[in-house]
Amino acid sequence: MSCFLLAVGIAVGVGFVFHHVVVKGRRCTSETMLHGKTAIVTGSNTGIGKTTAIDLAKRGARVILACRSVQRGEIALAEVMRESGSNNVVFMQLDLGSLRSVRSFAETFLKIEPRLDLLINNAGIYLQGKTEDNLGMMFGVNHIGHFLLTNLLLERLKECGPSRVVSVASVGHNVGSIDFGCLNAHKALGTGTSFFPVVKIYCDSKLCNVLFTYELAKRLQGTDVTCYCLHPGAINSELARNANTVFAAVLKLIRGFFFKNTVQGAQTTLHCALQEGLEPYSGRYFSNCSVRDVYSKAKDGDTAKKLWELSERLSGLV
């Protein structure tokens, strides 16, 4: 009996340490205030996007909630204003699955907002299908929509420098790959619809985020704009709301203990957006509020350049 109790005690202790050290992770320690600054946070009606928006608003920033759903966006607007105590928060509709919507958002923003200091490319989707422009859904929303948005707003970011672009990627990029044959033939990262192929396509889209950041940093050299991408951790959020019932059921069983809450999950985003002295790390990948090395495929210059040029064509920039 004593051995059993000892084993239980050890298991509980290990679990406690795992949850509080590994799951919770580090916190952003920056005390930077943002009065007079403007930030856009995509997908900020829920999850870590909304939490990020609340934190930036608390610091005095003018925060633009860029969300697809008008109803959900307006509800989030009221919540962000209430939680942050700031009235300097605005909702603007943005559907990253529609190049028309991205262009309309950018055009409207540039007309009515004189500044842009932070662009947080937070929105992400886990859903197979096609966008309005016949792109693969996860490729179109997770990469192309943000690619176009960033490029359309780059001049304003340069004018307001020092400014930053922060893109939420995932550790899943490590198992991702870019199939240019599939992209050229189907405008998608993959065509499978069963569980594992769909997970792989999501990871491929996250590799696109990392490669985009790597190439963007090269193109921003000599400007006052820097860029970073990150893994936020496994988050107890709504990302998998479109997942099949088996995947959703598995997540429900484990996420309460093994997943971060949205405050914990927003910390690396905030670190990349706010931490002083990160400029030498432009183009790098962060996790747990620390810069991390990536596999060679995630910093392959030829692949990053090829993806950029393909993205320019598919988004209509060239």
Q: How many angstroms separate the CA atoms of 149 and 284, rounded?
A: 20
Better-predicted residue by pLDDT, 102 or 248: 102
pLDDT tens per residue across span 103-135: 999 999 999 999 999 999 999 999 999 999 999
Which residues, in sequence order, are CB contacts of 53 under 8 Å at separation 6+? 39, 41, 44, 63, 65, 76, 80, 84, 89
Please tell me the predicted confidence (pLDDT) of residue 55: 98
Q: What length does the chain have? A: 318
Helix axis angle, 301-315 relative to 195-219, nearest 10°?
100
CATH, range 2-315: 3.40.50.720
Please tell me the predicted confidence (pLDDT) of residue 235: 79
DSSP per-residue string spanning 228-261: EEEE--SB-SSGGGGS-HHHHHHHHHHHHHHSB-
Bridge partners for 290 per DSSP: 287
CA 133 to chain centre: 22
pLDDT tens per residue across span 280-297: 999 999 999 999 999 999
Which of 202, 214, 228, 285 is flagged as catalytic? 202
Please tell me the predicted confidence (pLDDT) of residue 19: 39
Tell me if the pTM is above 0.85: yes
pLDDT tens per residue across span 157-193: 999 999 999 999 999 999 999 999 999 999 999 999 9
Angle, CA of 293, 297 and 301, to the nearest 5°: 95
pLDDT tens per residue across span 295-305: 999 999 999 99
Annotation marks residue 202 as catalytic: yes
pLDDT of 315 higher than 50: yes
pLDDT confidence of 241, banded at 50, 70, 90?
Answer: low
Q: Which strands form 163-168's sheet, in the order they lie side by side?
A: 89-93, 62-67, 38-42, 118-121, 163-168, 225-231, 285-287, 290-292
DSSP per-residue string spanning 1-63: -HHHHHHHHHHHHHHHHIIIIIIS----------TT-EEEEETTTSHHHHHHHHHHHHTT-EE
Domain ranges of the chain: 2-315
